[in-house]
Amino acid sequence: MTKQVAIIGGGPAGLMAAEVLSASSSAHGISVTVYDAMPTFARKFLLAGKSGLNITHSEDFTRFSGRFGKASSHLEPALNAFKPEDVRQWAAGLGTETFVGTSGRVFPVAMKASPLLRAWLKRLEAQGVALKTRHRWTGFKDDGYQFDTPDGERIIQPDATLLALGGASWPRLGSDAAWVPWLKDLGITIGDLQPANCGFDVGWSDIFVERYAGAPLKSVSTTSDAGTYPGEFVISKHGIEGSLVYAHSAALRDRLLRNGKATLTIDLMPGRPQERLVRDLSRQDAKASFSNRLRKGAGLDGVKAALIRELLADSNQMPAEQLAGLIKALPIPVLRPRPIAEAISSAGGIAWSGIDERYMLKSRPGLFAAGEMIDWEAPTGGYLLTACFATGRAAAAGMLNWLSDH
């Protein structure tokens, strides 16, 4: 007798689970259906692809697998079973060749997500997966799962179900976290969903925002509890954003939660030692304008010079030693993360204590979870997608194992 498997959520984790399950459908006698609330599948995946689709990362796997913070040990078995090189081979099997960028990040040669997604969906259909769009899960009902569909309300009662609904970032693309209260009603522990890989608000003056919002700070180094990283970020009308800020977002967010305040420290001239800055600034004419002293003595102008003036009103009166110290370690006090709807990803979700080694919810046999619904986070750089793929595959393996016994 054919067993019915439902996957609720058609993003990377859900589609990867569907691929594994459907590849085994004949051997295990199962039928797979993927339900998604949106008109098309994997909308966040496609959005990520607009900037090149950073699909995974080429760094040493030991370092790679440690990028997931407190959840690294939980994710390790899934990541071991689907490593970054496996991601690249999988993409190649769908006609998408990849390359390693200068930062170690891995991208499709075409720098697009849409060809990969089209080939993926075509493969799933060829393997017998039923793909249902505009089917919005609205909760549990009558020992089943209730959906709003174009044809009205529908209730399904599959033999096994995977939830792969994402977290709470970019809700307009489908991951709106509507599932949180439904799972809490089952007694499942859910860690508060918080923004990850996000920008932060800073108390800029109106004059600074008017002139410099959108300006990049290039060739800088940033430090927080997360460590020190080189790169660039952007001044926004609200504060700061960009990949270099995202690298610190978890550390800054958590320090704000603990202490009510947090600071991102900037080295505006990482290639110039402080001793040289002191020497060069000391040589400047005391009667020269502050802008000229910064430009000639430290090589700073534009937004970098303006940032010093914005954050330290009396910086023009500082002696060379103090000014040089601030150029090498300028503190930017952040007020709060930007809203979760703007974040690239989210932290929090289903607690690992509520999931067994098969990714099944302990309090509801036959119900599994994968992807960003679970309490883990990672920096940008291909880690997010790889973990979504890996947990989708791990959950599918767990479902096959469970179904074989039921």
The CATH number assigned to the domain holding 133 equals 3.50.50.60
39/142 same-domain check: yes
- End position of a domain, from candidates 337, 353, 378: 337
12/94 same-domain check: yes
44/164 same-domain check: yes
141/8 same-domain check: yes
Q: Are 375 and 352 in contact (CB under 8 A)?
A: yes
CA distance 30 to 15: 16
Domain count across the chain: 2
88/179 same-domain check: yes
- End position of a domain, from candidates 304, 337, 370: 337
pLDDT tens digits for range 267-278: 999 999 999 999
- End position of a domain, from candidates 312, 337, 362: 337
CA distance 125 to 33: 10
Helix (H, G, I), strand (E, B) or coil at 221: strand
pLDDT tens digits for range 117-144: 999 999 999 999 999 999 999 999 988 9
28/122 same-domain check: yes
Which residues, at least 6 apart from 29, have a Cβ–Cβ distance to it below 8 Å? 1, 2, 3
- 106-133 burial, b at 16+ Cβ within 10 Å, e below that, comes to bbbebebbeebbeebbebbeebebebbb
pLDDT tens digits for range 235-275: 999 999 999 999 999 999 999 999 999 999 999 999 999 99
Count of alpha carbons within 13 Å of 274, Cβ hemisphere only? 12
- pTM, full prediction: 0.93
- Angstrom distances, CA of residue 114 to CA of 15, 158, 172: 14, 31, 19
284/209 same-domain check: yes
23/167 same-domain check: yes
CA torsion sign for 86, 69, 53, 162 is: positive
Range of the domain at 125: 3-195+344-404
Contacts 24+ apart (CB under 8 A), 242-245: 242/199, 242/216, 243/380, 244/220, 245/199, 245/200
> Quick one: how many helices (H) and strands (E) in the chain?
16, 20
**Average pLDDT estimate for 102-115:** 92
116/226 same-domain check: no
39/116 same-domain check: yes
Rounded to a whole number of angstroms, the distance between the first and last alpha carbons of the chain is 12
Query: How large is the angle between the packed helices 274-282 and 320-328, nearest 10 degrees?
Result: 140
**What DSSP state is assigned to residue 360?**
B
181/221 same-domain check: no
pLDDT tens digits for range 193-232: 999 999 999 999 999 999 999 999 999 999 999 999 999 9
pLDDT tens digits for range 11-28: 999 999 999 999 987 667
28/99 same-domain check: yes
